[in-house]
Chains A and B, each alone.
Chain A
Amino acid sequence: MAPNNTNKGKGNKGARNATPIKAGRNKAERPRRVAGAHSAQTSLRDRFISWRQHHRDSLGDALQRLNAARASSAMTILVIAIALALPAGLAVLLDNARAITRGWDGNAHLSVFLDMDTSEARQRELASEWQGTGHITRTEVVTREQALAEFKALSGFGDVLEALPDNPLPPLIVVFPDSTDPVTLRALENRLGEADDVDLVQLDVEWVRRLHALIELGERLISALTLALAAAVVLVMVNTIRLAIESRREEIVVVKIVGGTDGFVRRPFLYTGFCFGFAGGLTAVILVQVALWWLGGPINELLMLYSSEQSLTSMAASSLIILPLFSGALGLLGAWLAVGRHLGDIEPNF
């Protein structure tokens, strides 16, 4: 044993922190130590190595404790996993829905009905004028004769129409917009409605709008659900760590008596919280992937029936790591709250 002699270690916190408070005003300085009783002290480098070592030990200890109480750890991890798999899974499904509607958006169009007496030349002129300007990708001209022919063919009212003296159908220009954003469409609808010779503009995208509204609602719901379930994960962790603290009460008392700092006492619990969270997040990823694989067959079939080229996409690669990290952070937060709340209650007494 070679005690690094007292009071000199530069990085020694004990000496540094303690120096400002000197002996009482009326007391004579006495020799600080009698030979033979060296207070054992350590260098800054040793402290750093040992601090790192303690982090490693705390992590190891946390994992070992999870493993030692396997059944109850597994339950806690599953609770976390299920709580997180629910919003994560829904988010994946919603992502898919969004991708699919993006494919459908191409069919959105506005029907612009012109005044009855508009000439066919004027109709073509308008169509080519609009094409390529302000959110219009393409226009399609449907003359009154074409409309009548189409209507006869499709409606089965051909004979009735024959009986009419005039063709009752107005000239039509079908306008394909480049976006399905409701605001843009509304503006486009107004603009075309004010043009000369235009009688009526009909927006055939109500259903797209409803879908968008539904998707937005879904997003909000998932956000709310995520928030609520994240809070649940934190609370589960607060409770788990509270029990862990309670079961290690004696150890905490002893550590405090022999001079353990709050950080030293706190560290293993914070690691435990993180490990629970991370394991829960990892399990959630697995649950979601299994569920998607399970749903994949029927969903792809459904998509094919809607003649969509999309197929079910699974979680983004980045989420595979983000979800466990996010969950680990929740566990850490829960542990932090529990430790802050309960560790102060445990003080040595005799």
Chain B
Amino acid sequence: MIQFDRVSKRYPNGKDALSKVSFTLPAGQLTFLTGHSGAGKSTLLKLIMMIERPTQGQVLIDNQNLNGFGNRHIPLLRRKIGMVHQNHQLLFDRSVFDNVALPLVIAGYARADIGKRVRAALDKVGLLDKENLNPIMLSGGEQQRVGIARAVVNKPPLLLADEPTGNLDPALSEEIMDLFKDFARVGVAVLIATHDLSLIARYNHRLLTLREGRLIHDGDESGDAHGA
């Protein structure tokens, strides 16, 4: 689903955020991405979302080389990627339903279809009864679940999460993780960027570790080599 081939990113200020990072993320796999702040996690996610472009190497999403994408392709790429943010990025000027419906409205779904799909997504995250509320009235965990519902409502083949459990207590974190595991089970490639080591320790999933822009570990949590 995602392939990084010797990808380097140097910012205009001369900082090397990533150096020759290579890995492959197959469909249906849940992978953690970790590292200290400034290790390059955000840059890696930005390259996948085409918020930034690599200085060297190539990124392939769904077997398509992003280097060949012009700016006008970016929206279509992003429609294949569900993104979950630490701060949820919900819009408080509209209902939960409208927040979740946004990707479908943008992608041009028919009205009737939107209603069905939004309710299915809200049902999946257990918030079907809150569709008419404003997200500001929801708890942090519920807001995060709305964010997840929005990320998956158009069934993207790839799900990215940036510190999805950052502000949540362990019980809520577990609920969120269960959702991610469910999506991986039905074939979605899930990449979770986090520095929550306890979360990583609780699940034995593939782990990518970055340090100063280099991929220093690729394997499961115990250290066994994996993939690539």
- Say what secondary structure dominates the interface of chain B: mixed
| Among B12-20, B103-111, B210-218, the stretch in contact with A | B103-111
Size of the A side of the interface (Cβ < 8 Å), in residues, is: 50
Q: Is the CB of A258 within 8 A of B106?
A: yes
Give chain B nearest CB distance to A296 CB in angstroms: 48
Q: Is the CB of B162 within 8 A of A350?
A: yes
Q: Is the CB of B117 within 8 A of A50?
A: no
Bound state CA distance, A247 and B155, in angstroms? 31
Query: In this complex, what residue of A is CB-closest to B104?
Result: A40
Size of the B side of the interface (Cβ < 8 Å), in residues, is: 58
Q: Is the CB of B73 within 8 A of A46?
A: no
Interface flag for A33 (CB, 8 Å): yes
From residue 26 to 82 of chain A, which have CB atoms closer than 8 A to chain B?
Answer: 27, 29-42, 46-47, 49-51, 53-54
Q: Is the CB of B155 within 8 A of A24?
A: no
Q: Is the CB of B105 within 8 A of A54?
A: yes
From residue 232 to 262 of chain A, which have CB atoms closer than 8 A to chain B?
Answer: 250-251, 253-262
Which of chain A's residues have a CB closer than 8 A to the CB of B26?
30
Interface flag for B79 (CB, 8 Å): yes
Interface flag for B120 (CB, 8 Å): yes
Which of chain B's residues have a CB closer than 8 A to the CB of A258?
78-79, 83, 102-103, 106, 150
Interface flag for B116 (CB, 8 Å): yes
Interface flag for B5 (CB, 8 Å): yes
Interface flag for A349 (CB, 8 Å): yes
Q: CB-CB contacts of A78-121 with B at 8 A, as 1s and 0s?
A: 00000000000000000000000000000000000000000000
Interface flag for B80 (CB, 8 Å): yes
Q: Is the CB of A257 within 8 A of B89?
A: yes
Which of chain A's residues have a CB closer than 8 A to the CB of B28?
34, 37
Which of chain A's residues have a CB closer than 8 A to the CB of B49?
257, 348
Q: Is the CB of A50 within 8 A of B63?
A: no
